[in-house]
A and B are shown apart, each in its own frame.
Chain A
């Protein structure tokens, strides 16, 4: 009985002390609206191009013949090619995998894990007797690009179920985002909130809102299409922190939090960036 009372007390304290995910999301939108009063926040799905008119024009011209187009085609072909057992990716996803990206990542109540789209794609493969694909670039990113393409225009709809493990995963991702790290002691927040829209060397920094809507991305710097977790690793290296493994629990939780913050925003992946 005593333990139960303590647990209840702690639960109430926690509930009062910390904001809910939805409160966080609304506070974040208010933060950006205050910082950029004239900006339509929905434009932030276009990253730095929401802030930089000149760069936006160049980007729009590039979008006439987008560099990720080949990745979508190759992804579609891979998506429709049957596995050795005759099944395809479509058999593993709701609605045959078409237009479902807005629901990723989700919290799997059975395993207690955050499932990103890339994890789901590889799970589909291993469940059907195929080898998993490398996480960051190549065929996995291409299949993800095709699936993202079929989801364009849908609104991000990441769900945090009423389960303490899901909330803990969300909170862990949030803590990661706001924690300074690496030799340069930068948090994700330092660049993508405090300094969003400002110049970092030759480029403007994108804002946190809408950061999860447009992946996978063809980055000119990479010369190929890659996943959001490739970018996480790159960001970590840039602040001189040792990156985690792709699809590690830490990065999955980070993606979970980051994606939730973009809830309600339009999906526009795959995209191209410098």
Chain B
């Protein structure tokens, strides 16, 4: 029982003293996420009409990163990339379907 308590206390202590930097995202993580998102957006833009949200999200991501909030920056960059992917998905689906809507 005493041993278990000791182990629990040790684990709690370890969490407390873990460097914050090991948990929070840093600038390098953000840059990697941003580059990935930018590539996704650029690639999508060459194929289809983008959503008007992707570039706005990238701008917000940059603002968040500039304010030191890399977690938020990464989240927004990932969302921008996702929006680009979804624009491509819609375009690919519509390429097959658009003629169905034309009156005959």
- List of A residues within 8 angstroms of B103 by Cβ: 24, 27-28, 30-31, 193
Residues of chain A in range 162-218 having any CB-CB distance to chain B below 8 Å: 174-175, 178-183, 185, 187, 189, 193
Interface status of B98 (Cβ within 8 A of chain A): yes
The answer to whether B49 touches A178, judged by C-beta atoms less than 8 angstroms apart, is no
For residue A126, give the distance in angstroms from its CB to the closest CB of chain B: 28
Residues of chain B in range 73-104 having any CB-CB distance to chain A below 8 Å: 83, 86-87, 90-91, 94-95, 98-99, 101-104
Q: Which residue of B lies closest to A31 (CB)?
A: B103
- List of B residues within 8 angstroms of A179 by Cβ: 91, 94-95, 98
The answer to whether A185 touches B101, judged by C-beta atoms less than 8 angstroms apart, is no
For residue A240, give the distance in angstroms from its CB to the closest CB of chain B: 5
Q: Which residue of B lies closest to A250 (CB)?
A: B49
Interface status of B34 (Cβ within 8 A of chain A): no
Distance, CA A44 to CA B43, complexed state (A): 40
Distance, CA A27 to CA B101, complexed state (A): 12
For residue A15, give the distance in angstroms from its CB to the closest CB of chain B: 15
Select which of B49, B54, B99 is within 8 A of A244 by beta carbon.
B49
Distance, CA A189 to CA B97, complexed state (A): 13
Q: Which residue of A lies closest to B100 (CB)?
A: A178
The answer to whether A180 touches B52, judged by C-beta atoms less than 8 angstroms apart, is no
Interface status of A243 (Cβ within 8 A of chain B): yes
The answer to whether A183 touches B51, judged by C-beta atoms less than 8 angstroms apart, is yes
For residue A123, give the distance in angstroms from its CB to the closest CB of chain B: 26
Distance, CA A250 to CA B50, complexed state (A): 14
For residue A130, give the distance in angstroms from its CB to the closest CB of chain B: 32
- List of B residues within 8 angstroms of A27 by Cβ: 102-104
- List of B residues within 8 angstroms of A240 by Cβ: 51-53
Select which of A31, A175, A242 is within 8 A of B50 by beta carbon.
A242
The answer to whether B98 touches A183, judged by C-beta atoms less than 8 angstroms apart, is no
Contact with B along A239-250 (1 / 0, CB 8 A): 011111000001
Q: Would you call the interface of chain B mostly helix, strand, loop, or mixed?
A: helix
Interface status of A98 (Cβ within 8 A of chain B): no
Interface status of A154 (Cβ within 8 A of chain B): no
- List of A residues within 8 angstroms of B104 by Cβ: 19, 27
- List of B residues within 8 angstroms of A24 by Cβ: 102-103
For residue A235, give the distance in angstroms from its CB to the closest CB of chain B: 12
Residues of chain B in range 3-57 having any CB-CB distance to chain A below 8 Å: 45, 48-55
For residue B87, give the distance in angstroms from its CB to the closest CB of chain A: 8
For residue B48, give the distance in angstroms from its CB to the closest CB of chain A: 8
- List of A residues within 8 angstroms of B53 by Cβ: 183, 240
- List of B residues within 8 angstroms of A80 by Cβ: none
Which B residues fall within an 8 A CB radius of A? 45, 48-55, 83, 86-87, 90-91, 94-95, 98-99, 101-104
User: A27-B104, A178-B101, A242-B52 provided; 15 other pairs, C-beta below 8 A?
Assistant: A24-B103, A28-B103, A31-B103, A175-B98, A178-B99, A178-B102, A179-B95, A181-B90, A183-B86, A193-B103, A237-B52, A241-B49, A241-B52, A242-B51, A250-B49
25 CB-based A-B contacts, threshold 8 Å: A19-B102, A28-B103, A174-B102, A175-B98, A178-B101, A179-B94, A179-B95, A180-B94, A180-B98, A181-B49, A181-B91, A182-B52, A183-B83, A183-B86, A185-B90, A189-B101, A193-B103, A236-B52, A240-B53, A241-B49, A241-B51, A242-B50, A242-B52, A242-B54, A243-B52
